[in-house]
Amino acid sequence: MLWILLTVAAAPLQVARNAFQRGVMGDAGPWGATLVRFLFGLPFSILLFLVVIRLTPEAHANPTLRFWFIVTLGSLGQIAGTSCMLMAMQRSGFAVATFLQQGALPIGALIGWLVFGDSLRGFQWAGIAVTCAGLAILSWPGRAAERAQVAGVLFGLAAGVGFAVSLNGYRQAGIALEPHHPIYAGIGSVVAAQAIQTLLVGGLLAAFRPGALASVLASWRGSLGAGACGAAASAFWFSALAMAPAGAVRAVGVIEAPIAAAAGRRLFREHLTLRQMLSGTLTAVGVVMTALG
């Protein structure tokens, strides 16, 4: 039961982190807001990793070339997914973007099946089909759809693909780093990934968008909130993964969607249509089917 409580605790922290990131988009832009997640989350993740090292002295990292390749691949996927998610939130709304990114699990399952040889059972294939149906209904443009809304849907779907790549990358990176201590391996992988992401996105902004980088640094108070929430969410998430199968944890994590809907209404005065609510629910059901199949 503890893993369920940890997963439920991680969901609002992830929503809070996303809200903090969206809050700095106005001045910093999507890439600056993307950097916030990594730059200000890194110190907290390092602190958590030091605690884990202290508690598991028998664990030993094995950062092979395979580990660095896979964690870099996962880092790039998360960078793309985060920036696309923020663009989707700006155009389609906070809750709709959160619903759209739920496609990360079935897309990730397909990538695992195609690339890593993971097996999928019939119920999981059905879950993927249900999720695709929900995403299709959610993303289908209305008659009076604005160009920004259509772009938001495309960004949301692209975010799901990016997070699916990072999901597989981090899973394989953890196995490569320390297969016998999943919490140690998971948080260690997060530290490595955030260091890579900070250097990459920070370096690109310093070279091409110095104004955006200055805005990120100037908004450090709110950005620290995003970093702290993100680091705590990762700690809860990976602790839960150490206690229960990833599919079951991801299924419980779908609770993030209604929390995001409530946050969107409360913080950003967004309202969901009946079609969006029904299709978002169908998407969530498909994710649960895929995870528990």
Residue ranges per structural domain of the chain: 2-292
For residue 126, the model assigns a pLDDT of 77
Nearest to 292 by CA among 134, 172, 171, 127: 127
pLDDT-derived band at 140 (thresholds 50, 70, 90) equals low
Across the range 189-216, mean pLDDT stands at 91
pLDDT-derived band at 146 (thresholds 50, 70, 90) equals low
Tell me the average pLDDT of the chain: 77
Three-state DSSP at 62 gives: coil
For residue 16, the model assigns a pLDDT of 81
The number of helices, as runs of H, and strands, as runs of E, in the chain is 14, 0
Across the range 108-121, mean pLDDT stands at 67
Across the range 4-21, mean pLDDT stands at 79
pLDDT-derived band at 118 (thresholds 50, 70, 90) equals low
Question: Are 291 and 105 within 8 A, CB to CB?
Answer: yes
For residue 46, the model assigns a pLDDT of 94
51: Cβ contacts below 8 Å, ≥ 6 apart: none
To which H or E segment does residue 217 belong? Answer: helix 210-218
For residue 72, the model assigns a pLDDT of 95
| Cα radius of gyration rounded to whole Å, the chain | 18
Return the ∠ at Cα 143 (arms to 139 and 145), rounded to 5°: 55
171: Cβ contacts below 8 Å, ≥ 6 apart: 246
Burial class (CB in 10 A: 0-12, 13-18, 19+), 232: buried
For residue 164, the model assigns a pLDDT of 76
For residue 220, the model assigns a pLDDT of 78
| Secondary structure letter of residue 142 according to DSSP | -
d(CA 235, CA 232): 5
If phi > 0 it is left, if psi is from -120 to 50 it is alpha, else beta; for residue 56 that is beta
Q: Is the pLDDT of residue 141 over 60?
A: no
Q: Is the pLDDT of residue 143 over 60?
A: no
Nearest to 42 by CA among 201, 256, 215, 206: 201
Say which amino acid occupies 170: Y
**pLDDT tens digits for range 63-89:** 999 999 999 998 999 899 888 888 887
Q: Which residue has the tokens 């772009």?
A: 151
